[in-house]
Structure 1
């Protein structure tokens, strides 16, 4: 879990209101009664993002998810200031991006932000190498240097040997790898990904998720990743923000959302999740209490991953913390209950 005390990006009371006169409406400082969906609709306005406050830690994969129209992509665009928030603050390393000049914002985007979207937007007349090097050419980096950097990230995303291919010669998954490499070429500190894998078929999508996890272990980027797929979210996320009607309803780890949903809406999102993929050994372990345990698993291990070990042992297995100290035991029956969807805590 990322230490969010080291905040890379924060939103404070961010609103995005659409409609004629929205800017003047928000500038007038409307009271709470004027900010209800009903009052805004009467004024001919609609809030895509409603009073969002979040903090994203350095090196964290922060997932924003919700159904279509929930405001998740609008929030991401407010964070990157691709669209202008109607109110609030967007703080990048403590600096309010809403107060940055256009020139300053362009410089930040070119050197500190990377963006990957659902549609790859590769330039068809350029090769893989030229597509990946393109943002560096915009920065006026010397040709030899930008091509060297492009080759490095092409290799990093597993496309070594395809540098001279054109987009039309690549599969959908390969094209998305080129998009990822292009966004990484500028060595971004903040990486925005808006449903980058949703246009891919399930097999390739799973491969790209695995690739993103691999890249994160190497690069440790701060990622804001938008998806509507909870299975994708729990696979990738350090934390998840669930949105509804422009508001953030709950923020937590996948385990926290499954174990303690704040609302019926969140519960509905998590209801069909395979709990064994989300819950950790820590969440269902029992106190040691003199129980003789054999073998060991880590407290942070997912139940699905350790099930063969624990069930195969036929006896409780020790659960250890990061220092290797035994903090509990994990019984085969507790694992079986989790696998079949029965609450092991009851």
Structure 2
């Protein structure tokens, strides 16, 4: 489906509804807010300030909402005071998103909105994001998934329409390894370090990882930092706020999420083109089989950890460990289209993902 078709589906999905948008000001929620403003009967963008976001995020969200012309509300709650979040477990993103959507759900009930929607897109379904489980548990609607949008599609539309958005809205807690306690001091020094680097270099996306007081700087354009005087200044400033060592990751920082099925030639039969995809999470085969029934004929073996789906003349096999194999497909484009249809039906293995 081309982008115009996806936009038509998105407009149809939101048309006439009364929705609350989980709004960060990032690309995905900005596209949702823009279309909801035009199509929904009533749309409210809500930004949750969880006490661990970069300083400029809330301000940027306010500015973007004002530019779009949508109603906007900021609700604050310091998650760092919640022991379940403070201990920084492997499923911290699940804990965070659950708290956020409980708040949005309450607003929706009190003010009689039809649904809460968020900016989860198809590309997000290919990543190990425990927070996505909250969408299923809390019945959070995902219009971008329903309409087939990848992160690349979203950015392309915003670029075509010249709509501004915040390039990165990730929580600062993600800069600290899981299992290491989250504290206001750690969050504040990370926030200071990233803001300092942005101001000195003009870079929009900066990550400063904090591991046992060692700062690891990640940026897309490392050349912006290759200056002896600048590096000396950063070393002094970051040590002054509590870092013992300051390092630069020369591999750079990459936010690209789009991935495709990988071609695997079938030996001995050129007509049996095969593609495969390795997901970074495991699958609940029983629940996934149930969801796949909406797409075609399904055979499921929970004991073997395999689900087999037949769609027209195409065969897709899904394994509990997260591998997807598509056989008898026409070409890479056909394989990609199949993947986009399958991803919303996948159900993650809760136990193996510590969610």
Give the TM-score of the pair, scaled to structure 1: 0.29
Higher relative contact order, chain-length normalized (CA < 8 Å, sep 6+): 1
Q: Tell which structure's C-alpha radius of gyration is larger.
A: 1
Give the TM-score of the pair, scaled to structure 2: 0.29
